């Protein structure tokens, strides 16, 4: 696994053409909140959604600047820190916090479990459980899905952050949550911040050691999932690190 540095957003004077009119100077029917009321939240543009959250007089202009800053890639918006947001002229602490709150609420809604803990029956189930949550991480995170005897999730602790290899990953720390929670089995999941999910030699080596340790502890490692950008790889399916 390669070391990944956080995305570096450079704030420059933008040359992109953005709306210069104040929202209050626009016809009422064209203002973002009115558009939201009339057309519905699913019918308005990302820029209008951002402007509706910011609620500033130049909200549309700021929204276009933000989208230009992340090159139109909405998944990169949560990676902007509050201080980075406040470098945009017209975005104060309240507006930056409001936008971060909206993004965080969306993340939590997608993560929310309305009923019992999910059951993992396939690599796709494990990947989909964590894909959105780990999508925008700028460092590698190793998480362990703890399963009971019916393959239902009983916990998903983060056990390591950073570049993983066999010399730094402490196997005892990986299995400690499973032992404490009496897990019957585990699935190991980690992300590649680059978005590329092809397994590296280090990934395979870590997997081999995890599988061997799981066998000794009678806590089988059912799979090792690598998450990329809306993609995943199952090392078990590829028989990498699994005998």
Residue 8 has pLDDT above 80, yes or no: no
Q: What is the pLDDT of residues 33-73, one digit of tens each?
A: 788 877 777 778 888 888 888 877 777 888 888 888 888 87
Instruction: Quote the pLDDT of residue 162.
Output: 79
E strand or H helix at 155:
strand 153-155
Contact indicator for 200, 237 with CB cutoff of 8 Å: no
Contact indicator for 66, 50 with CB cutoff of 8 Å: yes
Q: Where are the domains of the chain?
A: 23-111, 123-234
- How sure is the predictor about 11, in pLDDT bands with cuts at 50, 70 and 90? very low
What angle (nearest 5°) sits at the alpha carbon of residue 216, between those of residues 210 and 221? 40
Q: What is the pLDDT of residues 95-114, one digit of tens each?
A: 888 888 888 887 776 666 55
- How sure is the predictor about 116, in pLDDT bands with cuts at 50, 70 and 90? low
Instruction: Quote the pLDDT of residue 166.
Output: 53
Which percentage of the chain shows pLDDT scores above 90?
A: 35
Rounded CA separation 101/19 (Å): 25
- Using H for helix, E for strand and C for coil, what is the string for the chain? CCCCCCCCCCCCCCCCCCCCCCHHHCCHHHCHHHHHHHHCCCCCCHHHHHHHHHCCCCHHHHHHHHHHHCCCCHHHHHHCCHHHHCCCCCCCHHHHHHHHHHHHHHHHHHHCCCCCCCECCCHHHHHHHHHHHHCCCCCCEEEEEEECCCCEEEECCEEEECCCCCCCCCHHHHHHHHHHCCCCEEEEEEECCCCCCCCCHHHHHHHHHHHHHHHHHCCCEEEEEEECCCCEEECCCCCCCCC
Is 123-234 in CATH node 3.40.50.720? no
């Amino acid at each position: 696994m390669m070391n990944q540095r956080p995305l570096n957003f450079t704030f420059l004077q933008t040359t992109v053409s953005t709306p210069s009119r104040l929202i209050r100077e626009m016809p009422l029917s064209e203002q973002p909140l009115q558009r939201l009321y009339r057309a519905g939240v699913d019918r308005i543009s990302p820029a209008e959604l951002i402007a509706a959250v910011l609620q500033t007089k130049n909200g549309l202009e700021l929204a276009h600047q933000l989208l230009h800053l992340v090159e139109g890639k909405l998944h990169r918006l949560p990676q902007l820190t509050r201080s980075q947001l406040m470098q945009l002229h017209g975005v104060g602490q309240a507006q930056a916090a409001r936008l971060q709150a909206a993004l965080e609420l969306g993340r939590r809604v997608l993560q929310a479990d309305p009923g019992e803990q999910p059951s993992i029956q396939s690599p796709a189930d494990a990947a989909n459980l964590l894909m959105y949550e780990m999508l925008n991480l700028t460092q590698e995170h190793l998480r362990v899905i703890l399963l009971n005897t019916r393959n239902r999730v009983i916990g998903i602790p983060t056990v390591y952050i950073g570049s993983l290899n066999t010399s730094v990953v402490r196997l005892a720390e990986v299995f400690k949550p499973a032992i404490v929670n009496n897990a019957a089995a585990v699935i190991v999941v980690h992300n590649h911040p680059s978005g590329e999910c092809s397994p590296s030699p280090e990934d395979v080596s870590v997997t081999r050691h995890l599988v061997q340790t799981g066998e000794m502890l009678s806590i089988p490692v059912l799979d090792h999932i690598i998450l990329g950008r809306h993609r995943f790889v199952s090392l078990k399916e590829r028989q990498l690190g699994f005998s």
